[in-house]
Chains A and B, each alone.
Chain A
Amino acid sequence: MSLDIDDILAELDRDTTAVEMSSEGPKQPGNDSMDILNSSLDGTKTVANGRSTSLKPKIISPVEDFNKLVTLWKNERCSPELLPYPHQLMRRMLIRIEEQMEHLEILSMNFFEESTNGGSSANGKRNSNAPANNNKMLPLLCMEAELERVKFVIRSYIRCRLSKVDKYSIYLRQINEQFLTEELEEDDMDNENRISPLETLMSSEEIQYHQRHFSLLLNLLNESVLKYMSDDLQAINDTEGSVNMVDEPDWNKFVFVKVIGPPTGENDFDPLLIHKLDPERYYYSITIPETNEDIELIIGSIYIVRYNLIKDLLKDDKIELI
């Protein structure tokens, strides 16, 4: 594939960019030898391409992955609760970052060699090549900048998640305990297939962090205050009193949402989506339980609504938090 495109492009260049052609003049005549070079080059290139495509399945494009990551980052920043961790997506992103870093390292080494070689050989040629060299540096520059940008999103995303893990430490612990007791009750009902809620919610590193943070927190509370109290006042997850001790996410927090519609873009295939003709609009209907008030969430519009009402739509990627 890449072979054909390159050749076509090379053809095009010959006709259109006369200016830069002239500087290429001396190398032009050896057309035959060039073709040989091409074929050998393309051979290696297709191999490289084959490898990269096998790593990234066809349907998943890096571009979409990055956009998805940015959306997840924004959602995480705006939502009151800890959202599920995108295990697959994150793995792909990290692999890609690693690959790109390696690629860049090789590139910059090439540049280093080139510049030292060029300096020792004919000086006149080197001067004429100076601007071209600068142009050659550009992709490297951009790729490095891009890498930093991707890293920034990931870093900010993880930081935001960690702050929530800190905040809802006890709550998350409770979810897990609930799950474990349920599991005990159900006993031998295909236990192995069940995944704990924490494992979908957090990465293994985050779970580890959560456990350590929790034990540190518990230790601190015990050592500083709780051990001096009477036994019945030592609980840290007392929900009986006037104030709940467990910090739960504020499920009814108001959030800004943008209605996207079904991710596939096929409005007519989404059972939740209501289609009204007069005036023509697609919307999701949600109801505020206390007042029984219906709200129409029209696709493409921006609303401020309670998080609880749109939680499920958010998990299906039908809306975004902004």
Chain B
Amino acid sequence: MANEVCFRTLHLDEPWTLESYLSVGGYQSLKKILTEKIPADDIIEQLKISALRGRGGAGFPTGLKWSFMPRQTEGQKYIVCNSDEGEPGTCKDRDILRYNPHQLIEGMAIAGYCIGADTGYNYIRGEFWEPYSRFDNALKEAREAGYLGDKLFGTDFNFELHSHLGGGAYVCGEETALLESIEGKKGQPRFKPPFPAGFGLYGKPTTINNTETLASVPVIVEKGGQWFLEHGKPDNGGTKIFAVSGNVKRPGNYEIDMGTPFSELLEMCGGMKDGYKLKAVIPGGSSSPVIPGDQMMDVTMDYDGIQAAGSMLGSGAVIILDDKVCMVNALARLSHFYQEESCGQCTPCREGTGWLSRIMHRIEHGHGKQEDLDLLDKVAGDIMGRTICALGEAASMPVKGFLKHYRDEFQYHIDHKKCMVGAGSK
């Protein structure tokens, strides 16, 4: 069964309205928690049972993250949703905002209840005009209907939620850069520790979760952690939205059970377009290492399965590369992206991403040198593990992955000053 969690309103006419959401049982989880005064610990326990892991890319167990919040201590706390969906290939959060915004609102209210926050922020990617206005409308509907505001369902629980449109920087998807950006500062990641759970938004304890993660919560509360877990595999609970792009017949978002074999996902997409063969897959957004197509056919779509194949589930953006794709061209494009998006704060990323991109640009345009291949690998390695945030890794891992599996194409570019596959011939 597909579309059971985040996309559960998708079959309706106007799935984004409050009416639609209420018709699938929306806001009942929040009501139940508040009116029956279900302890936050019980909800967190269900999350732990569900094995819900962060859907933004890092895959950190959500229940565990919530339990880090100093709930008992007095003072302001915040729940922040990361809808700055910028990872190339990823478009799942956009569709949650567009088609099921109320479920995110409910999820954030439940999170606020669990961590002791009465205020939340949803940071939405700068380019998401339509999703932003959909979400803002949903906020309005929810406020008017009494699902946001003071004394929800006649209880003592208050919760207000604000949306914030970003300025268009990929790095603001990094949670501490996101916080800086909400605070009105330049979006640059903070050095950690301290972590947001201790020193977050405006210096207050803050939990930050991805849109899909938070939108999954109401269903887990409604149906139980076990139900969610059983949709996936142990430690890899639930359903997951995979955003499939590339030359398949039906690219798009697919909310399916975690652990589904890649081959089945490809079938759901109608297989490769006529005339194209599967060459490789970037399974978890542009920063995850590429996996050759034949190897991918044996992989199951879950955190552990993809990790075993040498890559990451990441944000769930499945980029299909076909046999006409020039791997040098693809990597040059990716490297250029990371050069553009490095915040510039710390040395290895600021200088390293530019260096990688410039070398790739040269190789692609027929000016590569033999020593460039080792240099690329070395520079990528020098960035990794030495930066303030993970953008350094995000820029390096594709380089390492492409070189590992497709070194021959790079070699060809250097030797023949043109492309092996023809498509990217320069």
Q: Do A and B come from one complex?
A: no
Which residues in A have some Cβ–Cβ distance to B below 8 Å?
none
Which residues in B have some Cβ–Cβ distance to A below 8 Å?
none
